[in-house]
Amino acid sequence: MRIRFRENGPYVVEFPPGTKVRLGGEEIPLPKGNLALCRCGGSHKKPFCDGTHKTLGFQAEAGEIQIEVP
């Protein structure tokens, strides 16, 4: 699994194919196999990114974390 920090944007969590993700008991469809989570604090659909970071002028460096699950 990998978590990327998009430059001036959200955290993007990438999942292996077939991973099931639930929020409040509801399964979240992952058509792209990843999930974009708000990092700027301005999203109207938290915890998800809705693109508001672009209008806020949010600035942050890019990066990533690799996670190996045994």
- Residues of this chain that interact with ligand FES (CB under 6 A) are 9-10, 38-40, 42-43, 49-53
| The amino acid at 42 | G
CB of 52 to ligand FES, least distance (A): 4
Q: What single DSSP character describes residue 29?
A: P
CB of 56 to ligand FES, least distance (A): 8
In Å, what is the CA distance from 25 to each residue of 11, 12, 31?
22, 21, 19
Q: Which is nearer to ligand FES, 4 or 39 (CB)?
A: 39
Q: Which is nearer to ligand FES, 2 or 45 (CB)?
A: 45
β-sheet bridge partners, residue 5? 11, 63
